[in-house]
Amino acid sequence: MDINSAVGRKLGVTDQQLAQLANFEQSELFSPVEKAVLRYAQGMSRTPVDVSDALFAELQGYFNSAQLVELTAALALENYRARFNRALEIPSEGFCELPANHPVRKLAVDVRLPKTRSV
């Protein structure tokens, strides 16, 4: 979320949206297409990947084939980077300060991540 939230802010993502990201389904701050993309990101982030036919059909209503390939590639790249950073316990660079009660921040505190692993 760190660098992506900083870039997202430059592209119009608000602090309120970032704060409500964990509860995007109930939030009025996200459009139907944004919610579909966030559900897709969640499904692609699961192990194993879990994207329903219904969700994919919904996305096809918003995006053409080339756009779906680009979206899928971008999400796959972000998953790669997130898993890479997590495995090596690479900490945030501080581009985005999450609210104290944000679920992602709570996770980092709960698992007590050390700084960076030496490789």
DSSP letter assigned to residue 92: P
Give the pLDDT of residue 80.
93
Full pLDDT tens readout for the chain, 119 residues: 467 777 888 888 888 998 888 899 999 999 999 999 999 999 999 999 999 999 999 999 999 999 999 999 999 999 998 889 888 888 777 666 656 665 555 544 444 445 555 66
Q: Phi-psi category of 89—alpha, beta or left, where left has phi over 0 and alpha has psi -120 to 50?
A: left
Domain segments of the chain: what residues? 2-110
Give the pLDDT of residue 98.
59
Dihedral angle, C-alpha 75, 60, 43, 52, nearest 10 °: -160
* Largest distance between two CA atoms of the chain: 46
Give the pLDDT of residue 72.
97
If DSSP codes are grouped into helix, strand and coil, which group holds residue 23? helix
In the numeric block, the tokens 């698992």 are attached to: 111
Give the pLDDT of residue 2.
61
Give the pLDDT of residue 112.
46
